[in-house]
Structure formats: structure tokens, C-alpha cells
Structure 1
Amino acid sequence: MAKSLSVDKVLKLIFIPSGELSDIDLSSGDELDQPKSSDPSDDGLDYEVEHDATSDNEPTDTSSDEDSGNATPSTSKSAGTSKTKRSVYKWKKVLPEFRDTDFTGGDFQDPPMDLPTPMEYFKMFINQECIQYIADQTNLFAMQKDGKEIKASTDEIEQFIGILLMIGFFPCPSYRMYWSNDSRFSSVADVMSRNRFECLLRYVHFNDNSNVRGREDPNYDPLFKNRPLLDMLRVEMGKLEPEECQSIDEQIVAFKGRSSLKQYNKNKPHKWGFQVFTRAGSPGIMYDFEVYTGKSMKLEGNFKVYFDNWFTSVDLVRTLAERNIWAVATIRRDRMGGCQLASDKQLKDNGRGSFDYRSDRDSAITVVKWHDNKAVHLVSSFCGTEPVDTCRRWSACAKQKIDVNRPLIVKEYNHHMGGVDLADMLIELYRTNIRSRKWFMRLVFYCFDVAIVQTPYDTTTGRQS
């Protein structure tokens, strides 16, 4: 059974540097009917709820946690459950007060007159310093392991990476088939001999094993084997000019071997693998990522972030707003800080596109329940229901598309939430997939794939420039 993460743990994941709502899993408790007797909208009265911020650590709805399909890392009740200040929310059916959420990140620079080549784009993220570092660590590891001097050069490391990427573009059941007489692939076989490729594949390394720390050491790093490569890539990604609106979502790097970092999610295409939290803009450009080990991903500035209900709570949205990070997210019913909205039956009787909302005057947080095919709960710290526009939805009864009322918060979420999913789709198209006994090589291949998809993406043509 998956457990909820506390606000403090979520902030460690996303704070300080997908698609339409109909695509998300609505079986996480959003569709459950609320008791009519507890619905204050029946009598139109305002109400005040005292909410314990630490209650989100306790799983209160077994069915919503199990059905959500999001494999949350297991946490003990005693870990990180220190009492925090009790939050009091005064939910009223009023529009939230206006907030100044103007972006302070500045305008984008003009594009260069001459567009860089694909190789130049790739080397913006895997630069010459990184290539030299890989060559040095590979030579060092060969000497440490077998006392051999393989003399790997930077040119050979570049060719080695190129072959790995080419294997992703033109996959074969076995990498030896690229050198076989019956299935020889000249773009690979003419660049490097098979024996040399296997030698580099055996000894390629990314950190000095003499500096590794034991598991009992407080500074132990589970990603020690490829930490320098991950950090160098993140530094180069951090140099990109950030967009105002960014989404935060998870990616799964497929892996079925042995590793304490491996996660399981039954509803993902790749059920086993490393969990990566990614921050990306709407066009799919990634600005940061973090392989889940409990560490942090930083974000500073007057940004707008969008995420799903995996870790959303009213307390989290309020804490982000206090630090000038504005949020729109879907939210599970048991994390809404005691906010009571119209039942599913009431909204269904009112017709498709009906909605109900409440706002807290002190924090200016708005919770909205919108009925499309099913009821969906959303929360925001900077937008509410107005203005209401319409969207086209297929009607099974009318056998045609119809206009459905859509609050502003839904429009914002649908427009900006798909950035990480788009980046993940581009990675999956030509994912580097070669078998290796080294678990950390799967994350190394992921870094190379990320550097490839960071090439500017033209959303009008659907192609990378």
C-alpha cells in the first residue's frame, strides 16, 4: 500500500533551484462520492476547518492509495512525523483575491543567426570536459581492476557514445550483429572494431572507486558510480533560460536488475526501473531532474509549476506560495484540508461541465471540483474558475462533439502539464537499449538520451530542429 509523503519531504523533492485531464488516472479517490450530510453546499453556509498538516503522512483512504497506480517509496510512521503548526483554512464560496504573479525571469534572448548543428547541440550538455573526464576515469578503472593500460582517448569515447546512440536508432537483438558478416552495419563497424567496443564497454567508468563510501557512512551516495556525469549534465541544463510555466512529473528508466533504487509501478509501461523526478517546460525542454534517492531538486524564482496528485496537498501549495512559487495541480480528496464540495451526484445531475469551488481568504488558495467524464479535484494558488470558457468533448449520447464548460484552472493545467510526458515520449522513441551487467549504465544511457532530446523541438511541425 502506497503512503502519502509529508509536505517537508515533497519540498525536498521539488523546491529551492501531462496531457489532458481525461488522460490522468481518476481512480485515486477523486471519483468517490462524498457523504451528503457533510456537504455544506446544501445549506450555503461558510465554514472553518482546523487541519493538521501532519495528517497527510497517514493513509486515510486505502482504496485511493491502492488505485492511484503511483508507487510511493515506503516510509515509516516514525520517520519525519514531527508535529508541525496546525493549519486553519476558512473555505468560502468566493473568488480568490488577485495576486501579482508576474514572471521575474526576464525575456528570452534572440536566437542565434546560424543554428548549431546536432553535434553542437549535443555538446552543449555532454561537453569536451565531460568526455575527457570519462576517458580519464575509464583508463583509471582499467588499471585498478586488471592492471591494464587501455589508453582510451577522447576521440574513442566520442565514437563509443556515438555507437551507443546509433544502436538506439537502429536496434538489433544483439549488439554483436552490427559487426557480423551476415548483418554488418557499416555506420558502426567502420568506426570501431568489435573487440575495442567490448573493451570500452567493460571498463567505461565515471567515478574513482577509491573514493567510494560505505553504506554506514552518513555521506554515502547510492549514485556514486555515476554522480559526476549526472551533476555535469544538470549543471549544463541549468544554464538554459527557464520558462515561466513548468511541469513536474516522474519518469521511469526501465531496469529489472538488482539495485536498491529500483521502484515498481504496476500502471506504468515500464513497471520496474529507476524513478526520476523531472522539471520541464511545455515544449518538452528539461531544466532539471533528480533520480529519486531522497535528495532535492532546486527551483528559485517567481515560477508557475504544475504537477499531478501524487504528492499534492493544500499545505504544500500554501508553502510554495509563501516562497513565490505558484502552483496548479490535481489533488486527492483526502488531502484537501477539510474542504467540502458538492457531491459527484449533484454535479452529474447539473450536467457535464458543472463545477463547484471554495477559496481560503487568508492563503488565497482555491479548490475546484469539475465534472467531465468523472469528477476531478484541482487546487491552485494563483487562479480559480474565472473566466470560464468551453472545450470540445465527445458525447457518447449525442454521437458527436459538444461544448463543455471549462474553468480557468482546468485550462491552465491542461495547457502546461504535458512537458515531462513529451520529453519522456521523445526519449522512448530511440532509447539506448544495450544489455549491461552494471546497473548504473542504464542511468548513463538515460543521460545520453536526455542530451539528444534537448535539441529544440518545433511544436508546429512536431519535429526536432
Structure 2
Amino acid sequence: MLQEILIHTNSKIRQRQNKSAANNSKSNASSYMQETTLGELKAFIGLLYLAGITKSNRQNLKDLWRTDGTGVDIFRTTLSLQRFQFLQNAVRFDDKATREQRKQIDNMAAFRCIFDQFVHRCQNAYSPSEFLTIDEMLLAFRGRCLFRVYIPNKPAKYGLKILALVDAKSFYVLNLEVYAGKQPSGPYAVSNKPFEVVERLIQPVSGSHRNITFDNWFTGYELMIHLLKEHRLTSVGTVRKNKRQIPESFIRTNRQPNSSLFGFQKDITLVSYAPKKNKVVLVMSTMHHDNSIDESTGEKQKPEMITFYNSTKAGVDVVDELSANYNVSRNSKRWPMTLFYGILNMAAINACIIYRSNKNVTTKRTEFIRNLGLSMIYEHLHSRKTKKNIPRYIHQRIEEQLGEPSPRPTVAPGRYVRCQDCPYKKDRKTKHSCNACGKPICLEHAKFICENCADLNSAD
């Protein structure tokens, strides 16, 4: 997946290099317009994760790279500000040469391949629990996009809608589908009606005897019977009162508070619960087949169907919340970048769940994401450490981060070499070196100490 992003990103970089050369741009731009590597691409993503855990994902990048003590050292240590901005603008996910042709059959052509690979890997990496949730999430986006939607009850209101199948216990994201609007004729021209959406999302768990929980936008008698008969999946969901299968007595609101009405068929159960005066809640289930009341609810006397629905309905909402806690998303006018940030958030959630499950530990998400981000930048730090055209203090920070100090430089007796603490432009030569670290140093940057004091310091 990253290898494919690398190929298309470098293609975009070469295009910009050619444009820069044609415009006779100044040579100082060439220093940060070089092609990238897999290690540098990982480092770019690692910095996004580190920005997420410090809640600085929407912060002005210049503030993160400040050198007055208010910036974040790890950002300057890993990439220059210009290079990070350049990579952020250059990242691409598909072949531009064939994009127009693919857009004739797919509105999501610019991100389809990467998205499908991510979903496929999520499905192969983890076996979910017996309880799953289907719901929608919204990735905030206000730029131009054919399938941008408006959902007034979401915090962002405008954005890209994703329908998700999530483990209701661990909150692992198992399957995803982007709402791409009305697709052109072709393989991606699918129905966006609830029945068909659920049919596609549950494919990874079809025949597994799991339960699916969803809200009243999805719930329907035909769908629930279909899931049970054709896919061997039970389901639970709230029901809209205007459904034609609902008996009139079940939607009457002039009932005793905390009372319940049950309706039974061979494979499906309907309950109407009155939580308070003049209100009823309808829940339909192919998992429950009796009128059991959850005694733990006390005087509220909630049916077990209701409490089960409440305990499993929030899977997708929790993923939304977890993503927002350590969000990597940055402001962008390109919808593929918004989707990319979205899958990075979900990848961190899934990776943490897998790590905890495999290691049988309860590592905090903050620590996991911090270690994830740091592990992704180390390869690039090793590479950057060998470069001689970066500031000296950056070299020092890299050595501190890696815990691998460079070999001490030595100065041959009587030989003049450049002072490492003087500005490069001064080109000041010296034959002296530091007694502690061995680096060449001129008298302006040295301090004199007698042998007795030096011995005392070494003893300490």
C-alpha cells in the first residue's frame, strides 16, 4: 500500500520538478523538491501521528517547527518545514495518466485502489467478536467533491460519508464503504438503499452466526429476515413508527410509563417500550424470542432487547470518538487526503486493538500511538543522520533520539580543520579540539580549565 503511494507521489514530484525547471525557478527550491523514499514517507506519516497525540493536527505548521523553544523538537529533527509541506501537497494515491478514464466509471477513482487495499487488510488481520454494529460516520470536508454530503446532526455537518461495520466490543473497524453519490454506469454503480448497503457490508461475516446492530435507517422486516435466512446472521435495530408492519397498538403513546408490549412471529420479535409519558421506542430483533425484562434496570423495567441494543449500538460512534481524540487530519482542499487521514486514524485504532490482543496487555492508546509514530520515523532518522548539509544541532538531536552518538571526531596534531561551532560561512580553521567530545573547536568557543579542576570534574 505504501509502496503504491510512493510510486504515485514520486510521479507527482517529477512533474513539479519539470515545471520548476521550465520556469527557471531558483535553485534553493531544488533542496526540498527531490523524490521521496519509503523511509521518508513513513516518517511523514509518523509525524502526523505524533501531531495527533499532541492535539496539534490543526495547528499552524510554522508553530511546530519554531526554534524559540515553543516548537516540537521531533518535527525539526525528522523533516524540514518546507519538505513536510512539500510532501503534504505532493502525496498522491493513483496514476494521474489513467485517472480520467477511471473516473468515467468511478467517482472515487483517485483513491479507490488504496481504500480497497486498506479494507481488505482490515478484514484479514482480525477475527471480530459475536456482536457487530453498522452505522455511518462523517469525515469533515468543505472542499469540492462530487459526493460531499450535508448531515445536520453531525458536528462537522459537511463532509465525506463512510458506512462502517465495527466490532461492538473491541471497536475494531472490519468493513467500510464510502458513499460516492450517484456513480456512472459500470461496476461501481451500486444502490445506496439501506438493504443493499447492509448486504455489502456484512459480506466478511456472512454465515458466521454473529449479530448485527443498526439504527432505524437500516432496520426493516425484509432485511432482518434476509440476514437470518440467507446469511445466518441475527440482527437488532430500532424501528421507525411509520413502517407498515407495525401494529397500531404498538405506536400509541397514551400508555403507562415503563410498560412494554411484545409481538412475536416465528423468527422475529417486536417490542414497544414506553420510557416516559407520551413516548414509545420500537425495537425489532431476530436474536430475542421472549418477553424477558432486564432486572438490573430496576423500576424502569426495560426489556432485554432494549438493553442489548443500547449496549451494542455505539460501535461506530466510539470509533468516531477515538479518531477525534488523536486525530491526524489536517486542513485540505483535496478529498483524497481527507480519506487518507481518515484511514490513518482507523489504522491506528485497529493496530492498537491487534497489539493488545496479541500481547495480552492493556497499553494506553496514547503510548501506543506515540511508539507507532516514533517507530515510523527511525528509518528516516538513520538516513538523515548521514547527511552533511543539515544544521549541526539537528545532527545532535538525531543522535539523542536514536541513542547512537556519532564517533568522536579527532584532530591530528598540528593539522588545521574547520571549527564545528562557527558558522559555515566563516570557514574558521583551528588545530584545537574538545577534550571531552573530540570535536574541532576554535578558541572563541572554548573555555580554559586547569588540570586540577579537570581532574575534579572527571572524578565527579
Tell me what 1:337 maps to: 245
**Across the two proteins, how many residue pairs are aligned to each other?**
320
Letter matched to residue 409 of structure 1 = M
Question: CA contact under 8 A between 2:144 and 2:333: conserved in structure 1?
Answer: no
Question: CA contact under 8 A between 1:384 and 1:409: conserved in structure 2?
Answer: no
Tell me what 2:96 maps to: 209
Tell me what 2:321 maps to: 425
Could you list the runs of 5+ residues in structure 2 that have no partner in the other structure?
20-32, 182-189, 191-199, 369-460
Question: CA contact under 8 A between 1:391 and 1:404: conserved in structure 2?
Answer: no
Q: Secondary structure at the match of 1:335?
A: coil
Change (3 A) 1:216 1:173: closer
| Cα drift, residue 281 of structure 1 | 1.1
Determine the C-alpha separation between the residues in 2 that align with 1:390 and 1:271: 39
Equivalent of 1:260, from 146, 154, 164?
146
Letter matched to residue 331 of structure 1 = V
Give deviations 1:209-259, integer Å, cap 9, x for gaps. Answer: 112145883xx2222212222112111110111221101011111111111
Q: Secondary structure at the match of 2:318?
A: helix
RMSD: 2.5
Letter matched to residue 327 of structure 1 = S
Q: Which has the higher contact order (CA 8 A, sep 6+)?
A: 1
Letter matched to residue 160 of structure 2 = F
| Cα drift, residue 343 of structure 1 | 4.7
Tell me what 2:11 maps to: 140
Determine the C-alpha separation between the residues in 2 that align with 1:452 and 1:342: 44
Question: CA contact under 8 A between 2:134 and 2:316: conserved in structure 1?
Answer: yes
| Cα drift, residue 385 of structure 1 | 4.1
Change (3 A) 1:391 1:272: farther
Question: CA contact under 8 A between 1:391 and 1:403: conserved in structure 2?
Answer: no
Determine the C-alpha separation between the residues in 1 that align with 2:103 and 2:76: 45
Give deviations 1:262-295, integer Å, cap 9, x for gaps. Answer: 1111111111111111111122111111111265
Runs of 4+ off more than 6 Å: 457-462
Alignment of 1:234-313 (within 5 A): 234-239=119-124, 240-282=126-168, 283-293=170-180, 295=190, 296-297=200-201, 298-299=203-204, 300-301=206-207, 302-313=209-220
Confirm whether residue 224 of structure 1 aligns to residue 109 of structure 2.
Answer: yes
Letter matched to residue 269 of structure 1 = P
Tell me what 1:55 maps to: none
Alignment of 1:10-159 (within 5 A): 130-144=1-15, 146-147=17-18, 150-159=34-43
Equivalent of 1:372, from 260, 275, 284?
275
Tell me what 1:322 maps to: 229
Question: CA contact under 8 A between 1:251 and 1:424: conserved in structure 2?
Answer: yes
Confirm whether residue 169 of structure 1 aligns to residue 53 of structure 2.
Answer: yes
Determine the C-alpha separation between the residues in 2 that align with 1:184 and 1:382: 55
Tell me what 2:336 maps to: 440
Output the TM-score relative to the length of structure 1: 0.64
| Cα drift, residue 386 of structure 1 | 3.1
Confirm whether residue 233 of structure 1 aligns to residue 118 of structure 2.
Answer: yes
Determine the C-alpha separation between the residues in 2 that align with 1:357 and 1:386: 6
Tell me what 1:382 maps to: 287
Higher-Rg member (1/2): 2
Give deviations 1:353-384, integer Å, cap 9, x for gaps. Answer: x11122234xx222211111331001112214
Question: CA contact under 8 A between 2:13 and 2:35: conserved in structure 1?
Answer: no
| Cα drift, residue 331 of structure 1 | 0.7
Letter matched to residue 35 of structure 2 = K
Confirm whether residue 412 of structure 1 aligns to residue 302 of structure 2.
Answer: no
Question: CA contact under 8 A between 2:14 and 2:35: conserved in structure 1?
Answer: no
Tell me what 1:192 maps to: 79
| Cα drift, residue 137 of structure 1 | 1.3
Letter matched to residue 127 of structure 2 = E
| Cα drift, residue 139 of structure 1 | 0.7
Change (3 A) 1:462 1:277: farther
Tell me what 1:24 maps to: none
| Cα drift, residue 446 of structure 1 | 0.6
Tell me what 1:117 maps to: none
Output the TM-score relative to the length of structure 2: 0.65
Question: CA contact under 8 A between 1:368 and 1:377: conserved in structure 2?
Answer: yes
**Higher strand proportion (structure 1 or 2):** 1
Determine the C-alpha separation between the residues in 1 that align with 2:293 and 2:361: 27
Tell me what 1:180 maps to: 66
Question: CA contact under 8 A between 2:293 and 2:304: conserved in structure 1?
Answer: yes
Q: Secondary structure at the match of 1:173?
A: coil
| Cα drift, residue 184 of structure 1 | 2.2
Letter matched to residue 304 of structure 1 = N
Q: Secondary structure at the match of 1:225?
A: coil
| Cα drift, residue 461 of structure 1 | 7.4
Question: CA contact under 8 A between 2:251 and 2:272: conserved in structure 1?
Answer: no
Letter matched to residue 138 of structure 1 = T
Change (3 A) 1:358 1:293: same
Tell me what 2:265 maps to: 360
**Higher helix proportion (structure 1 or 2):** 2
Change (3 A) 1:461 1:197: closer
Give deviations 1:77-100, integer Å, cap 9, x for gaps. Answer: xxxxxxxxxxxxxxxxxxxxxxxx
Letter matched to residue 355 of structure 1 = S
